[in-house]
């Protein structure tokens, strides 16, 4: 691996932090602390800082709960299915957050539909949808039962840009790109 190429690429894309590996609770805490202090150093506008922070929390915890999912780990083709990639960069006035993780093929259609449904809703409908799921949705013992994606779309006011790359019979790679503006 040419580390200088890698450096150049990160520099070009204004990457503040990137990580590939197992997502643990301790790691999430560290990433959030690093990004928070970086934004403090850049004297980021408080409102944008808050928005970036809470969107990061949702994205990282989505990854974390996937790592935790035994259905992802058991019988997996390789250990890679337990790891994820995370990147955050800043270009001019907006932040770019990209996450990537393996997902079982049988979950792709459901997740895709969920995101398409969210992307199709105008802001005021998104708010109603959020309240409806909050009040009626089943809470899993891991999280908000699908509220995370709605919250991200609601806070950023932008569509969820996603991609699924087929890997093999069992897995695809799921990439999510979130843009956060003032």
- Residues in contact with other proteins by the rule CB under 8 A: 25, 28-29, 32-33, 46-47, 50-51, 53-54, 57-58, 61, 64-65, 127, 130-131, 134-135, 139, 141-145, 147-148, 150-151, 155
Show Cβ contacts of residue 138 under 8 Å, excluding neighbours closer than 6 positions. Answer: 145
Residue 124 CB, nearest distance to other proteins (Å)?
A: 12
Pairwise CA distance, residues 117 & 99, whole Å: 20
Residue 62 CB, nearest distance to other proteins (Å)?
A: 10
Residue 159 CB, nearest distance to other proteins (Å)?
A: 18
Residue 102 CB, nearest distance to other proteins (Å)?
A: 20
Which CB, 17 or 32, lies closer to other proteins? Answer: 32
- Backbone φ, ψ for residue 55 (5° rounding): -65, -40
Of the chain, the end-to-end C-alpha distance in Å amounts to 37
Which CB, 64 or 171, lies closer to other proteins? Answer: 64
Extract the tokens encoding 51. Answer: 């928005």
Contact 19, 27 (CB under 8 A): yes
């Amino acid at each position: 691996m040419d580390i200088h190429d890698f450096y150049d690429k990160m520099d070009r894309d204004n990457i503040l932090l990137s990580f590939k590996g197992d997502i643990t609770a301790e790691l999430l805490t560290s990433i959030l602390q690093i990004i928070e202090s970086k934004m403090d150093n850049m004297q980021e506008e408080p409102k944008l800082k808050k928005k970036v922070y809470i969107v990061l929390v949702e994205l990282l915890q989505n990854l974390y709960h996937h790592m935790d999912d035994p259905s992802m780990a058991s019988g997996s083709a390789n250990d890679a299915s337990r790891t994820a990639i995370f990147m955050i960069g800043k270009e001019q006035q907006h932040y770019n957050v990209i996450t990537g993780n393996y997902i079982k093929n049988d979950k792709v259609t459901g997740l895709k539909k969920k995101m398409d449904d969210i992307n199709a809703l105008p802001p005021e409908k998104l708010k109603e949808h959020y309240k409806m799921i909050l009040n009626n949705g089943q809470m899993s013992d891991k999280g908000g039962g699908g509220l995370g994606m709605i919250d991200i779309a609601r806070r950023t006011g932008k569509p969820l840009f996603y991609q699924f790359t087929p890997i093999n019979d069992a897995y695809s790679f799921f990439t999510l790109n979130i843009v956060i503006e003032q």
